[in-house]
Amino acid sequence: MKRIVLAAVAVCLILSGCATTGQTPAQVSANLITQVHKACAVAQPTLASLQLMQSQLTAPQQADVAKAATIVTEVCTSTVPAVPASVSEMVQTAFPLVLKLVDASPMSAQDKTTAFVALTAAQIAVSAALAQ
């Protein structure tokens, strides 16, 4: 269930950039950064509270908190790359970042492989469309 929620959040963040119309890449990037900051404002204190409760958690729950801590730390403390000047630059920076998030997620190896293949195919398709 936790994996589904994490995957849903990731998909919503990714698609939030796609759902905007009529915005420049800089505006889309700024919007995404704002959404990440809002998510981190909730995730970081929640995680801190869960980490203080370690003695009351079972071993699998502690492992889940540790995985969540890795992801939250990676997302909330990472530096934001410069705003891409073009869609092709955005493709070159966004897809690797999403792949990194998938790799850090607690998804099963099979789910990660499926996500990697789908994201790579999407990156190839977008790059091919831009090349024409």
**Which residues span the domain enclosing 92?**
2-131
User: Looking at residue 103, what is its pLDDT?
Assistant: 81
Taking alpha carbons only, the member of 114, 113, 36, 33 closest to residue 71 is: 36
- pLDDT at 81 (0 to 100): 56
How many domains does the chain divide into? 1
Q: What is the pLDDT of residue 5?
A: 46
The whole-model pTM stands at 0.47
**Coil, helix or strand for 39?**
helix
Q: Given this model, what pLDDT does residue 82 score?
A: 54
Long-range contacts of residues 58-67, Cβ cutoff 8 Å, at least 24 apart: 64/2, 64/106, 67/105, 67/106
Per-residue pLDDT of the chain (132 residues; tens, 9 = 90+): 455 545 545 555 555 555 545 777 677 777 777 888 888 888 888 888 888 888 888 898 888 888 888 888 887 887 655 555 666 776 777 778 788 878 877 888 898 899 888 888 888 887 787 777
pLDDT of residue 3: 53
Q: Quote the CA–CA distance of 13 and 8 in Å, as a whole number.
A: 9
